[in-house]
Amino acid sequence: MRILPTGGWMPAFVLSMLWPAPALGGHSVLIWPVDPVITENSQGAELWVQNRGEATTLLQIRVYAWHQTAGREQYAAQQDIQPLPTMIRLESGQKRIIRLIKRLPPPANREQAYRVLLDEIPTPYGHPDEKSHALNFQMRYSIPLFVYGRQSSPDSGTPILSWRLVTESGSPYLEITNGGPVHARLSKTRLGKYTLTDGLLGYVLAGSSHRWPLKSKVPPQASLETSVDNRNTVWRSMADAR
């Protein structure tokens, strides 16, 4: 599996980190909807992008398979979902549609996860003197996409969560495992007396585990409380005894 390189880019806070919200407005690019899905009977999904800045913006669009392995995010090349177009040029104020086409159906009773990456491509400075006075940052926008096969949908099944405290290279981590058939989108999370976040914590994909670094050690008897946004529930649990 080839892991997507991220070096050399300034990452934007991703679309999935704004909830609820109609669109992403980081940098000069607005992107919506925030939660695209492709269901069994759909051939694809649509994204809209708009340039709200004053300068021309170039965007490269790619879709990667999204996995969580050994508690970490991994992106891999895939042929299931094709973005059209793969490159767009947006003048100031212009908006365009991106279609995410399902080329191969996922297995039955499965939710498959992808990430849609939109990378801003550097454009020439408008005036030769501007180069010495400005930073031309390259922004990356990352959008979750979930695709469903036969006899599955965003509402089928439920996340089955457990958690534990782990140590990696001497540092404490919170590890959450999802044994259910659908992902969990977690936010507003408390661990013991500590508030980890009042916003989005992140995703735990179906049949996967994900880890988050902790600033300090937490007593093993601490309880975890987090909102499962895609099920409109609050999950409370003591640590797994593993």
pLDDT in tens, 181-212: 999 999 999 999 999 999 999 999 999 999 99
Instruction: Give the residue from 214, 98, 228, 110 showing the smallest Cα distance to 164.
Output: 214
Q: Is residue 25 part of a domain?
A: yes
Tell whether 34 and 136 lie within a shared domain. Answer: yes
Tell whether 167 and 106 lie within a shared domain. Answer: no
Tell whether 98 and 202 lie within a shared domain. Answer: no
Using only C-alpha atoms, what is the Rg of the chain?
20
User: Do residues 174 and 190 touch, judged by C-beta distance below 8 A?
Assistant: no
CA quadruple 1, 81, 23, 122: dihedral, nearest 10: 70
**Domain range spanning residue 218?**
161-236
Distances (CA, A) of 47 to 79, 116, 164, 195, 241: 19, 10, 37, 34, 43
pLDDT, mean of residues 39-54: 94
Tell whether 98 and 130 lie within a shared domain. Answer: yes
Q: Could you identify the residue written with the tokens 């392995």?
A: 69
Tell whether 140 and 200 lie within a shared domain. Answer: no
Question: Is the per-residue pLDDT at 50 higher than 70?
Answer: yes
Q: Is residue 153 part of a domain?
A: no
* Residue 129 backbone phi and psi in degrees, to 5: -75, -20
Higher per-residue pLDDT: 153 or 220: 153
Higher per-residue pLDDT: 33 or 129: 33
* Residue 146 backbone phi and psi in degrees, to 5: -120, 135
